[in-house]
Structure 1
């Protein structure tokens, strides 16, 4: 079995993207233990040429100049992850079009294309909905990682074949001692102005939250979950800047995915603005309080029975809500049940893949 995982990168500075890559490969290997798994994201990967924007990919449909169709035909299975949350038009139609074009080439090459566990939607534009319907119609198997995504697929004319959960739960669990108290992941994406939440409000929330935790005698370590890169949304300069203003606050910059999973496993609590900082924590048995900024958080976590999410877009008092949850010793008691539900939810996804072997 040769499988290709699209839109995942095990070298990305975003450790959530690495979790998607390793988790997708782990899910494939649950179904096919001896599978050879390659990865392809934008830029360099397993493809014979770097994968770029939508125009070169559409030209490839016509000219076949770079042999992408032939390359794709060498695989037995393509798992299209859409970066976990990019099967939507909230990141722009160009991104959606490029991803659709490469997936279409795989279909034309005669390879089964599985939409791996992911968020489906939202689609606010006519073109976005048309591309989504096209993708869903041509996919061999559609996997939704939450019930709202499954409903979104149904509304677009294709029932999801599998309702599952995030692939991070397919990763092995590190065994380490709990030596840290609170890991607080601060997002460079939200710290800087952007479309998700008000950056000024987010900055104020983070500063007040740190002060509140310190006042309650908690030890706070600021966690970067997106490492240094040329992009403006990395977490490292943000956590470094914040730590300079708060005596006694530490900074943790992991080296890779294994390192961050060991780090969150060593904590008593993770508070995270990056969804996969929270999912990494829950998947290794550490309670997490997500600071949500989009629809992708709450449905997935609700399906796992984890209802500690604070939505920054709607909460009138996010700091108070987080501090109340952080003081609740019962949080730890619920983590084991989350892992059990996640494992059960991965079973149908594994079985659906096995049918394609």
Structure 2
């Protein structure tokens, strides 16, 4: 069995994207043991062309000059992951159109296309809704990783085949790393950009949360979840290092996905500004307090029994974090139930893939 995963990487500097790559590979192998799984995103991967250029895809569809059509037909099916949350128009129509063009290219090659476990929507523009509706109806199978996404698909006239959860739960639980008290993931994107709300407000909140933790006698270690790379403009590393040096806090810059998951399993508590930082923690049994910057956090986490999400858009976000810190023992006990809750949902995704072949 040979399977292609689109728009997810197993060697990305963004460890959330790496979760999508390695987690999807693990899910495929649960369905079809021994399968070869190939990851491709833009130029990252073995495809003979950049798959993010619609004009190139159209030319290859007609001529197969670079061999993309022949290469695509070497796969038994394709799992389209859309970077987890890019099947939406919030990142611009160009990105949505490019990814959807690649999905259409797959279908034109006669290869089954599965919309893998991901966020569906929001689609706030007429053109975005039209592209989303077309992609959903063209897919062989559609999965959503949260109920709100399933509702979005239904609103576009194509109910999902499977309501599942994130592929992080397909990853093995690693041995614990060094014992630490609190790991605080600081987002370089939120710290330096106003694209998801005022950066100054986020900085104030992070500093306040650190002060609240220290007042409670907790030991804080800062954590990077997006590493440094030539194309990682939103890396967490520079911010974590600068803030850690300023406040005299230890810092963890993991080497890979296993390393960060080991670090989280060794911690007593994780506070995360990246959704997959929180999911990595919960999937290894460590409680997490998400500092959510978008609507993708709450429905996914609530579906696996974790309603403890703090929205950065709320004026009382710091108070909400304080309230959860006061319930640390309750959170620790509840975290043990998350993976067992997620498992049947993941099994549904596995069974869906098994039924393809």
TM-score, with length taken from structure 2:
0.97
What is the correspondence of 1:190-201 to structure 2 with a 5 Å cutoff? 190-201=190-201
Per-residue CA deviation, residues 258-315 of structure 1 (Å, 9 max, x unaligned), is 00000000100000000000000000000000000111100001111101100101x2
What is the correspondence of 1:41-56 to structure 2 with a 5 Å cutoff? 41-56=41-56
Structure 1 residue 316 corresponds to structure 2 residue 315: yes
Counterpart position of 1:270: 270
Counterpart position of 2:254: 254
What is the correspondence of 1:95-106 to structure 2 with a 5 Å cutoff? 95-106=95-106
How far residue 324 of structure 1 moved from its aligned partner, in angstroms, is 2.0
Q: Residue 172 of structure 1 aligns to a residue in which SS?
A: coil
CA RMSD for the aligned pairs? 1.2
Q: Hey, what's the Cα distance between the residues in 2 that align with 1:59 and 1:205? A: 50
Counterpart position of 2:110: 110
Per-residue CA deviation, residues 36-83 of structure 1 (Å, 9 max, x unaligned), is 111101213021233343333344334432221221111001000001
What is the correspondence of 1:59-208 to structure 2 with a 5 Å cutoff? 59-176=59-176, 179-208=179-208
Q: Number of residue pairs matched?
A: 355
How far residue 212 of structure 1 moved from its aligned partner, in angstroms, is 1.4
Structure 1 residue 241 corresponds to structure 2 residue 242: yes
Q: Hey, what's the Cα distance between the residues in 2 that align with 1:2 and 1:153? A: 28
User: Residues 71 and 177 from structure 1, CA distance in 2 versus in 1: closer, same or farther, beyond 3 angstroms?
Assistant: closer
How far residue 349 of structure 1 moved from its aligned partner, in angstroms, is 0.6
Counterpart position of 1:226: 226
Q: Hey, what's the Cα distance between the residues in 2 that align with 1:53 and 1:270? A: 39
Q: Hey, what's the Cα distance between the residues in 1 that align with 2:12 and 2:176? A: 25
> Contact conserved, 2:176 with 2:264, CA < 8 A, in 1?
no
Q: Residue 337 of structure 2 aligns to a residue in which SS?
A: helix
- More off after superposition, 229-238 vs 196-205: 229-238
Q: Hey, what's the Cα distance between the residues in 2 that align with 1:138 and 1:20? A: 22
Per-residue CA deviation, residues 306-347 of structure 1 (Å, 9 max, x unaligned), is 01100101x222122112212311001111221111101011
Q: Residue 221 of structure 1 aligns to a residue in which SS?
A: strand
Q: Hey, what's the Cα distance between the residues in 2 that align with 1:41 and 1:165? A: 22
- More off after superposition, 148-157 vs 55-64: 55-64
Q: Residue 37 of structure 2 aligns to a residue in which SS?
A: strand
How far residue 177 of structure 1 moved from its aligned partner, in angstroms, is 6.0
> Contact conserved, 1:269 with 1:326, CA < 8 A, in 2?
no
Q: Hey, what's the Cα distance between the residues in 2 that align with 1:349 and 1:155? A: 22
How far residue 227 of structure 1 moved from its aligned partner, in angstroms, is 0.2
User: Residues 155 and 242 from structure 1, CA distance in 2 versus in 1: closer, same or farther, beyond 3 angstroms?
Assistant: same
Q: Hey, what's the Cα distance between the residues in 2 that align with 1:326 and 1:45? A: 42
Q: Hey, what's the Cα distance between the residues in 1 that align with 2:201 and 2:66? A: 47
> Contact conserved, 2:41 with 2:51, CA < 8 A, in 1?
yes
Structure 1 residue 299 corresponds to structure 2 residue 286: no
Counterpart position of 2:11: 11
- More off after superposition, 193-202 vs 60-69: 60-69
- More off after superposition, 191-200 vs 151-160: 191-200
Q: Hey, what's the Cα distance between the residues in 1 that align with 2:237 and 2:77? A: 36
> Contact conserved, 1:68 with 1:105, CA < 8 A, in 2?
no
- More off after superposition, 47-56 vs 155-164: 47-56
Counterpart position of 2:324: 325
Gaps of 5+ in 2: none
Q: Hey, what's the Cα distance between the residues in 1 that align with 2:134 and 2:63? A: 22
User: Residues 10 and 301 from structure 1, CA distance in 2 versus in 1: closer, same or farther, beyond 3 angstroms?
Assistant: same
TM-score, with length taken from structure 1:
0.97
